[in-house]
Amino acid sequence: MRWGRVIGRTTATVKHVSLEAQRLILVQPLDAKSGAEGDPMVVIDVVGSRMGDRVLLTSDGRSVRRLLNSDNAPARWAIIGIIND
């Protein structure tokens, strides 16, 4: 698990069938002091986060596939919670 900050939304003209109804969000991973750590990444948003929210991310592919109800979803990262400041 990691945490990050929502910095934008993404769009795709073609998606894998398991991602068609999902929001794709751009998240900047954060370090322990809330500083940027690494490159931004595209994640699945199942909790309805908004721009600027601090979020909890999971990289557990099995959990993400379970969230999407798909055994072959090509996704690894998903937002599983919003962190209240």
CATH number at residue 40: 2.40.50.220
Domain tally, the chain: 1
85 has a pLDDT exceeding 80: no
Give me the amino acid identity at 40. Answer: P
Domain range for 21 is 2-83
For 13-61, the pLDDT digits (tens) are 888 888 888 899 999 999 999 899 999 999 999 899 999 999 999 988 8
CB-based contacts of 79: which residues, under 8 Å, 6+ apart?
6, 25, 27, 43, 44, 45, 46, 47, 49, 55, 56, 57
